[in-house]
Structure 1
């Protein structure tokens, strides 16, 4: 392998390592953000439920162009029923968290549809 070929291979490996590191940091930020929100609301964050569903180019809070990641997660209010949520992470900052409605303690589960 020539010196130029070796340099190119090292640059490509470095770029891949940086991309992987960025994805792992965003995932950890999403996990912490979703867990914190659930804890603040008295809910159980279902730890193994975090899944990246989308990544796109977008602008962060500082206006700089970067990757924006959306993760789906699940939580439970009573330990038996699962509810879903979405968390949006731009760079290393949580931008938004949306959660499905869940029954309050003593409240009957909500049924979809009308009578």
Structure 2
């Protein structure tokens, strides 16, 4: 009986972690789309790639920092890379690689 309780608790924790990951990814993707529109560049493939995840100390205490990479184009010919960093649920950095302007 105790084994089942442990197993179900583990499943619930895994689901909560996955759900928070999805919420963070959506928040990051929304920020990237908005920034790309402001910079007049095109987000390619409409996807983010999780590059790193680490717990770090900061002004608000310990938070999970996630770094996502994405690709964009300014002219439609070349692909450039960008990066967005989240601390918890807050976007703390968004950078675009130096790119050609139309």
Which segments of 5 or more consecutive residues in structure 2 lack a partner in the other structure? none
Query: Could you say what secondary structure the match of 2:23 adopts?
Result: helix
Larger Rg: 1
Q: How large is the Cα RMSD of the aligned pairs?
A: 1.5
TM-score by length of 2: 0.90
Residue 89 of structure 2 corresponds to: 92
Aligned pair count reads 102
Alignment match, 1:24: 22
**Could you tell me how far apart the structure 1 residues matched to 2:75 and 2:65 are?**
32
- Structure 1 runs not aligned, ≥5 long: 106-115
Q: Deviations over 1:12-70 (max 9, x none)?
A: 01110011011111111111111110001111111444100000002466x13221100
Structure 2 contact 29–47 (Cα < 8 Å) conserved = no
Greater share of helix residues, 1 or 2?
A: 2
> Normalising by the residue count of structure 1, what TM-score does the alignment of the two structures yield?
0.81
